[in-house]
Homo-oligomer: A and B are copies of this chain.
């Protein structure tokens, strides 16, 4: 392994000079700096990030826990965030929890072991509260995105309640009354759904709600609900559920929007290509709020921190997956 000592020897300087050559705002002559950099390049030396962090007690690393890698929404956010934090001289350590609290704990432990300066994550549940509190005690900044499950942590979420309200309202306005609402647990979409029904004096039927972790059971329940309850419309809680719905429609031979109207959550390329109406969140906006909140706190004293809970309003993009029943 090439160390700063090797470079120092090669360039005929001390190790501290080598160290100085690799940082800004530090006293070093142009001449020596160039000499060191040339030697480093010749030897293929890169400063050891771990030794650096050990000394400075700052890893300059942000950890992110992605709950669901199949959901392109999270991937997009990760891409934006990585880009932003790289500009600020940080790196991103990406882990996958798969919406499983046990794996989430593993991720948290890995990030803790890596002594990350901050963690961005979508809590799968409140299961790991104790460990999260310990991390906070150790001055690790923790930001929740997408779901706000800990009221003492910063959060940047989409206003899903309002999104669901808009979607339900849009369907009601087009004459739908039998609407199935789907989502994963721990969401607030159902509240918006209920509110819209109430406002229009429509009955709320709990059998029209499918809230389950994604997986076979979800697909099965959904498929049965479509067959037996014969709804005129479905609202999909996220990208993964969306693909279930389209699969089921194909299997049951239901045409969208002739036999069944659909509104999905989280726009993407194939949803747009399939001309499906969505509740859309701006990924850029969400990502920007995440990184700006992160760096604001990272660069100020802990005493001055105040909780920031940001809720971003979605928009409804009307395409052609909702039938107007009144014009039948």
Contacts and interface: CB of A to CB of B under 8 A. Distances in A.
Interface stretch (A89-97, A166-174, A192-200, A294-302): A89-97
A135 interface: yes
B110 A91 contact: yes
B44 A134 contact: yes
Contacts of A1: 57, 115, 138-139
Contacts of A49: 110, 113-115
Given A50-B54, A50-B114, A44 B79 contact: no
A69 B59 contact: no
A104 B238 CA distance: 33
A108 to B, nearest CB: 9
Interface of A: 1-2, 43-44, 46-51, 53-54, 57, 59, 69, 72, 75, 78-79, 82-83, 86, 91-96, 106, 109-110, 112-115, 131, 134-135, 137-139, 243, 246-247, 250, 269-270, 273-274
14 contacts: A44-B137, A46-B109, A46-B113, A49-B114, A50-B51, A50-B115, A54-B54, A72-B72, A86-B106, A91-B95, A93-B93, A243-B270, A247-B273, A270-B273
